[in-house]
Structure 1
Amino acid sequence: MTRHIDRIRLKNLGRLIAEAGSVSALARRAAVSGANLSHVRAGTPYPSGSPRRMGDRLAAKLERAMGKPPGWMNEEQPFDTGPFAPDTGPPLLSWVRAGTWTEERELPASAERLHCPLPCGPNTFVLQVAGESMAPLFPDGDYIFVDPDVPAENGSYVVVRRPNDGAATFKQLVVEDGRRFLKAANPDWPEPIVEAEPDAAVCGVVVFQGRAM
């Protein structure tokens, strides 16, 4: 039960960060440490090795700061896919197409588009999570909205183009001593963290996550 609540709180934290505009903006509104908020979001363990979780007190502070009802952080929030005009909203792309999106953005008129409940940039695109490498934070089937115009920072969840085949992959970015690493959210993943190749290009930063109900 605890892990289930932790997962929901992390997803809702992502919503609040997108709503506030950034981690630092949310931290200021809630009068909490931005560094601690980033560590909670990234799942950075304490020096003792124990996992860093979002406690009830922090959850309540975030709810109050963002005008959410008590207990909001503990509840799955529905993903609204409409209404939206057929020619507006970020397009739903394949993982192969996402790898070339920053270079070629023309799509057929029939391309499926989704409505993002929060403000997002004009070049934002949508991907559907496939596989278990980012579970339980991003389960298979969830939708992620990716903005190419948001700068990627240490701890950001990013979509990266693989140089070997041009397709995209989804991981958390870790930057240490000028080196870039890609980290899976799933602690049981065979390769939980790998160094990014020098020519691996960041296609965008995840700004929203949702699930069709």
Structure 2
Amino acid sequence: MSVSTFAERVRALREMRGWSQAQLGEAAGISQVSIAKIEKGGATKHTGKIARALGVTAEELEGVKPTHQGQSGKVHPDLRRQDLVPLISSVQAGNWSEILDNFQPGDAEDWLPCPVRHGPSTFCLHVEGQSMSNPGMRPTYEPGDIIFVDPGRSAQPGDRVVVRLEDQRQATFKQYLEEDGRKFLRALNPDWKPKIIEIDGEATICGVVIGKWVPE
């Protein structure tokens, strides 16, 4: 799965914000019909308006920088400084700070364009399990969704974060909360048990979730 065309980037950014085509059209000052045509591959004179509405530059919306591949066909590591980020496992995420310096292109399941501004160490993950599923509400994260995680952002109460708990190799995905100097992780699924757990031991916040992609 990749986002390689202008139309796909527009759609990806719109869906990451939870907007309908009509909502994007309203934000950009153009019609829903125009947005629908653009997402089907039609040309537009409104790139600047759409980019501003989506919070990116026109250049970012028009495409990533040219990439180079080695003889093996693998993506060059320098792409981590551009717009492609690695799709990795929850185990890799749990050890991200330790493995980053030795991370190689072949270590990732895929390299995906992140259509929002992000730090150079950003990665993405498949959502696993139902703990962050919150049907009928936003945000909600379903199994198979792909979340983009920026380790360079400082976690604030209310942020969704990827965390490695003490003595666990895999990282977990929850909402981060603070109260009276205490720290908690909260599941968005109202039926999940336990819904809230206190971080009473060592925990490493691997990064803050900055958006998601919903594959079809």
- TM-score band by shorter chain is 0.5 to 0.7
TM-score, structure 1 length as denominator? 0.62
Kindly tell me the number of residue pairs found equivalent between the two proteins: 154
**5+ residue gaps in structure 2?**
1-12, 33-38, 40-62, 68-74, 135-139
Contact 1:159 1:170 in 2 (8 A): yes
Greater radius of gyration (CA): 2
What letter corresponds to residue 202 of structure 1 in structure 2?
I
TM-score, structure 2 length as denominator? 0.61
Counterpart-to-counterpart distance in 1, 2:173 and 2:104? 25
User: Where does residue 96 of structure 2 map in the other structure?
Assistant: 101
Partner of 1:114: helix, strand, or coil? strand
1:67 has 2:63 as partner: no
CA deviation profile, 1:32-62 (whole Å, cap 9, x unmatched):
xxxxxxxxxxxxxxxxxxxxxxxxxxx97x9
Counterpart-to-counterpart distance in 2, 1:116 and 1:132? 24
Partner of 1:126: helix, strand, or coil? strand
User: Where does residue 124 of structure 1 map in the other structure?
Assistant: 122
User: Where does residue 187 of structure 1 map in the other structure?
Assistant: 190
Contact 1:14 1:207 in 2 (8 A): no
CA deviation profile, 1:105-145 (whole Å, cap 9, x unmatched):
12233232111111211010101001100003000100000
User: Where does residue 207 of structure 1 map in the other structure?
Assistant: 210
Contact 1:152 1:204 in 2 (8 A): yes
User: Where does residue 165 of structure 2 map in the other structure?
Assistant: 162
Partner of 2:147: helix, strand, or coil? strand
User: Where does residue 134 of structure 1 map in the other structure?
Assistant: 132
Greater length-normalized contact order (CA 8 Å, ≥ 6 residues apart) = 1
Identity of aligned residues (%): 41
Contact 1:91 1:125 in 2 (8 A): yes
Tell me: CA distance 1:168–1:117, structure 2 relative to 1, closer, same or farther (3 Å): same
Shift of 1:180: 0.6
User: Where does residue 56 of structure 2 map in the other structure?
Assistant: none
Shift of 1:198: 3.1
Which of 140, 148, 151 matches 1:148?
151
What letter corresponds to residue 192 of structure 1 in structure 2?
K
Counterpart-to-counterpart distance in 2, 1:169 and 1:206? 12
Partner of 1:103: helix, strand, or coil? helix
Partner of 1:188: helix, strand, or coil? coil
Superposition CA RMSD, Å: 3.3
Contact 2:166 2:201 in 1 (8 A): no
**5+ residue gaps in structure 1?**
1-10, 17-58, 72-76
User: Where does residue 15 of structure 1 map in the other structure?
Assistant: 17
